[in-house]
Structure 1
Amino acid sequence: MKKSFSRLFTSFLLGALLVTGCSSEGASPAATTPTPAAAEAPAPSKVQDIKDGVNPATDLSRLPEAAAKRTDTFIAGLTEPGGVFNPFFYHNGYDGNVTSAIFEPLVDVDETGKPVPKLAEKWDVSPDQLTYTFHLRPNLKFSDGSPLTAEDVAFTLTILHDKAYDGETDIFVAGIKGGRAYKEGKAASIEGIKVIDPQTIQITTEKVNAKALLLLGGQVLSKAYYGKNYTPGNLEYLRTLHGKPLGAGPYKFEAYIPGQEVRYLANEHYYAGKPKIEHFIYKTTEGDALQFIQTGEMDYNSFTVNQDNIEQLQELGYVNINLYTSSAYSYIKFNHARPFFLDKRVRQAFIYGLDRQKILDLTYQGYAQVANAPISPVSWAYTDEVNPYPYDPEKAKQLLDEAGWKPGADGIREKDGQKLVVHYYTSKGKLSDVLIPIAKENYKELGIQFEAEMMDFNALLARTEKGDHDLASFSTPMLVDPSDGVEVFSTKNGQSGASGTNGYSNAKVDELLEAGLATLDIDKRKEVYKQLYKELSEDPPYIFLGYRKILSAHNGKIKGLEPNPFTGISTSLPGLSIE
C-alpha cells in the first residue's frame, strides 16, 4: 500500500535503525505454562537514573583510540540497504536512511510532529485552504552546484503523478487539481501546479486535506539531472540513476560498498552552510552493535531498550545515551468479520481481561507504557482523556455475560452452540514471548480459549490480508500525522491489508476521520482527534498495546546529535560537530 507521506515509510528506521513498516510484534509458539520470562519479575536494576532525551557521557577519557582519533568523520550503524537511493522510488526502508542525508524537503516536522520550514523559507495557504504558495529560500543549489528552483519542485510533483510511477508516495491524497487528468493522459501538464517565478510555486488542490502540506512540501528532484530524458509514461530511465543520487541535503553521495558501508561528503552547497563534519558513513557491516561502539568502529547505533543494555552503555562512560518515546504504537487487531467481535462488549472484555501493563513491564522493563489511543504521547494530538481500560477480569466477565456468552461445562464460554475459541497469529519476538502465556492465562480465567500460532512474517501478512485470523499483533511504523494512525479505521478505506480491520464500521468514526483532515488548523484538529479517540475507545477496533522507548547511544565527542521521534538522526546531521 502506498504511503501518503514519503518519509513516513522510513521514519521508524531514521529513529531506531530497525526494520520498518507494519512490523509484527512477534510471538513464540503457544505454551501450556508460563515461560520463565513471563512468570518471574525482573531482577533489581543497577541502572542509574536515565531520562528521556540525551543523557551525556560521564568520562570521555575512556573513549577508544579508534574513535578518539577521528576528527572529521561520523560513523553510524545501519542495516544493509537495497541500493535504490531515490526518496520516491525505494521499497526497502533502509534506503530511506541513505536518502535522508542526500535529499532535503521543502517542509519537515519538529519533535512534536508540527511542520517546520526547510528548503521553503515560508508558505502561504489561501483562505479556502485549497491553494499553497511555497516561497523557496534564495540561492538554493543541488550538491553539484546547479540551481534548485520552483521548476524542480514542479517536476518532482509531475513525476509522482506519472502513470508509470510505482513508488511509495501517494501524491493523490493531496488532490492537486488536474492530477488525475495528467495520469490518465488527458492533459499535457498538471493544471494545479503553477510556477510563479524561480523561487515561488503555487499549487491548487481540489479538497482541503491536512496531509497536503507535507506531501506537497516533500523532497526535491533535480529536473536537469532526473528529468532530461523524461517523457510521460516512461520512468524506466530513472533506474540508472538510483545508484548515483543528486540532492540538496546536508551530505552528498560518495560511494556505496555493499555489505560494508555508504559514504558521504559534506555538501558545500547546502542552504544552511556546509556541515562541520566532512565525512559521514553508514556502516552496514553485520555484527554486534555494542561491540562496534566498544571498539570505536562506530559513533552511533541503536539498541533494544532494556536495563541490561542501558547498564552496559552507562558503564562505558564515553557515550551519550539517547532515550525517547517512539511515535509508533503496537496493537492486536480484531478480525471484525468474526461474529463474536461484532458486539463491542466482547471486544471491550478482551481489553479489560488482558494484563497489558504486566506484559509491557516484563518485556520492556519499565521502558514502555500502555497505549489506549492510536497516537503516541510525543504527538501534538495526544490525549489521555479516554478510557484507560485497567486490567479488570471481573468487568470483562460481566461484559461477556451481558453479551450472552455463558460458561459451558468445560469452563469455555458458549453462545448459540459456538464456543469462544480465538486464534492469535504472530511471528517470533520478545513481546509475544511474554504476551502469549499471559494472554492464555488471562483469557482462560474469563472462559476464553486462546490459541496462538507462530509463523514467519511474510506468512503472517499473507494470512491476515486474507482475513484468516481472529487476532493478530503488529506495530505501526513511525507516525508523523495523527491521521496516519487511524486511517485504517475508515469504513471505506480500512478493510483489507495487513493492518485492515476486516469489517470495522462506525459512522461517527468515519465522520471524525474526515473532519480531522478537513482543516489545517491544528487546534481544531486536536479537538477532532480527541473526540475520535474517545469514540474508538468506546467502540474499539484494536486492542492497543503500548508505546515503547527507543534507545540509542553515540560517541560523546559528537555534539549536536538529538534524535527526533519522527525523523531520527537525519535532522541533526547538518549541525553535528566533533569536540
Structure 2
Amino acid sequence: GVAEPVETPILPGMIGYSDELQTVLYDPAKAEEILDKAGWERVYESSIVDDAPEESQVQTEQKQETTKGSVNLGLEKESKDLYKRVKKDIPLELTLTTIQKDDMIQAAETIRDLWQEIGVTVNLKIVEIGKVQKEVIKPRAYEVLLFGQILGRDPDPYPFWHSSQANDPGLNLSLYANKQVDRLLEDARKTSDLTERQKKYIEFQQQIIQDIPALFLYSLQYTYLVPNDIKGIETIRINHTSDRFSNIENWYIKTKKRIRF
C-alpha cells in the first residue's frame, strides 16, 4: 500500500495540526549513547553463546508464510557488527505485539531490525485481528504495542491521551498520564473558539513530543479508482469510505454550452 509519514498525533488537515512542531528524529547514535550511559554493555556476536535460533521467532497461533515486501519508513540501514545489550547478566529484550495484517507485520519487522542494530533483542508476537481486543487491548497485555488509530474529521485526542482513559474501555493504550495534558484536552473540549482550540492542541502535541509515550509512524492512503471521463472530483482527506462522495454533486461527464439571454 501507499502511506504518508506521520510524526504527530494530529494529522494534516485536522484542527490542531502544525508542520512547525519539532518532532522526534531517528537517531540510532544517540540511542546507543543513552544505553551505554545506562549501563547496558555491548556483547558482540563472537562472544555470545546462544542455543536459540539465529532470528527472533515470530509467535503466531497459526503457521504463516514469510511476509514479502517491506514498509519503507524512510530509514536507511547501515551494515555493522551485531551485538546484544546486557546488564548484570540480564539481556535487554522486548516483545513487540501487533496484529496479523500484512502492513503491520512488515512495519513490526522493520522496527525489530532497527532495534536489534543497537543491541535490543526483539521478539515479535502476532495476534489474530479477531482476538486482539479480548487478549491484548482489554487487559493491556503487551510490553510494546504496534497498533493503529482511526481519527475522524474532528481529531479529539481525549480518548487516546487523557489519563482517565488508560484502562479498558479507554483507548489510552500507552497508559500515558500527564496532568498538564489532561487539562489541555479538557479545555479544548469545552471551548467553541477554533483559534483557542488550535492553540490547546498544539500545546498538547508539544508535551507529547517531549514525553514520547508513543512514536507515530505512518498513515495509509485510501486509494480508489475513478474512470477518466468523470470530471470534477477533488482530492480531499478521506476519514470514512463514504467521504469520497462528499462532492458528488460537482461530478460530471459531459458539458453543454449554454446561451445566456
Instruction: Tell me the amino acid that sits aligned with residue 518 of structure 1.
Output: K
Give ranges in structure 1 of 5+ residues lacking alignment.
1-303, 305-363
Deviations 1:449-507 (A, max 9, x none): 11102221022222232121112222222421131x45321111233348432532111
Alignment partner for residue 165 of structure 2, among 490, 493, 497?
493
Alignment partner for residue 391 of structure 1, among 23, 26, 35?
26
Instruction: Tell me the amino acid that sits aligned with residue 406 of structure 1.
Output: W
Question: Corresponding residue for 2:155?
Answer: 482
Question: Corresponding residue for 1:572?
Answer: 247
Question: Corresponding residue for 1:406?
Answer: 40
Matches within 5 A, 1:255-274: none
Deviations 1:286-336 (A, max 9, x none): xxxxxxxxxxxxxxxxxx4xxxxxxxxxxxxxxxxxxxxxxxxxxxxxxxx
Question: Corresponding residue for 1:464?
Answer: 137
Whether the 8 Å contact between 1:422 and 1:449 is mirrored in structure 2 is yes
Whether the 8 Å contact between 1:501 and 1:541 is mirrored in structure 2 is no
Task: Tell me: CA distance 1:418–1:458, structure 2 relative to 1, closer, same or farther (3 Å).
Answer: farther
Instruction: Tell me the amino acid that sits aligned with residue 488 of structure 1.
Output: F
* Superposed displacement of residue 555, structure 1: 1.8
* Superposed displacement of residue 417, structure 1: 6.5
Task: Tell me: CA distance 1:427–1:482, structure 2 relative to 1, closer, same or farther (3 Å).
Answer: closer
Partner-residue secondary structure (3-state), 2:97: strand
Whether the 8 Å contact between 1:393 and 1:446 is mirrored in structure 2 is yes
Question: Corresponding residue for 2:120?
Answer: 448
Question: Corresponding residue for 2:101?
Answer: 429
* Superposed displacement of residue 529, structure 1: 0.9
* Superposed displacement of residue 418, structure 1: 4.8
Partner-residue secondary structure (3-state), 1:459: helix
CA distance in 2, matches of 1:398, 1:388: 20
Partner-residue secondary structure (3-state), 2:19: coil
Question: Corresponding residue for 2:52?
Answer: none
Deviations 1:59-78 (A, max 9, x none): xxxxxxxxxxxxxxxxxxxx
Partner-residue secondary structure (3-state), 2:172: coil
Partner-residue secondary structure (3-state), 1:538: helix
Instruction: Tell me the amino acid that sits aligned with residue 91 of structure 2.
Output: K
Task: Tell me: CA distance 1:408–1:555, structure 2 relative to 1, closer, same or farther (3 Å).
Answer: closer
Whether the 8 Å contact between 1:372 and 1:386 is mirrored in structure 2 is no
Instruction: Tell me the amino acid that sits aligned with residue 385 of structure 1.
Output: E
CA distance in 2, matches of 1:486, 1:401: 36
Whether the 8 Å contact between 2:94 and 2:121 is mirrored in structure 1 is yes
Deviations 1:197-238 (A, max 9, x none): xxxxxxxxxxxxxxxxxxxxxxxxxxxxxxxxxxxxxxxxxx
Q: Which has the larger radius of gyration?
A: 1
CA distance in 2, matches of 1:543, 1:378: 20
Whether the 8 Å contact between 1:405 and 1:413 is mirrored in structure 2 is no
Task: Tell me: CA distance 1:471–1:498, structure 2 relative to 1, closer, same or farther (3 Å).
Answer: farther
Root mean square deviation, CA, Å: 2.6
* Superposed displacement of residue 415, structure 1: 5.2
* Superposed displacement of residue 379, structure 1: 1.8
1:545 partnered with 2:206: no
Whether the 8 Å contact between 1:558 and 1:578 is mirrored in structure 2 is yes
Instruction: Tell me the amino acid that sits aligned with residue 407 of structure 1.
Output: E
CA distance in 2, matches of 1:498, 1:451: 27
Matches within 5 A, 1:77-156: none
Deviations 1:539-562 (A, max 9, x none): 122111113333222123333333
CA distance in 1, matches of 2:132, 2:142: 9
* Superposed displacement of residue 512, structure 1: 1.1
Question: Corresponding residue for 1:309?
Answer: none
Deviations 1:89-120 (A, max 9, x none): xxxxxxxxxxxxxxxxxxxxxxxxxxxxxxxx
CA distance in 1, matches of 2:30, 2:225: 43
Instruction: Tell me the amino acid that sits aligned with residue 388 of structure 1.
Output: T
* Superposed displacement of residue 532, structure 1: 0.8
Instruction: Tell me the amino acid that sits aligned with residue 413 of structure 1.
Output: R
CA distance in 2, matches of 1:447, 1:480: 40
* Superposed displacement of residue 510, structure 1: 0.8
Aligned residues, how many? 212
CA distance in 1, matches of 2:173, 2:27: 25
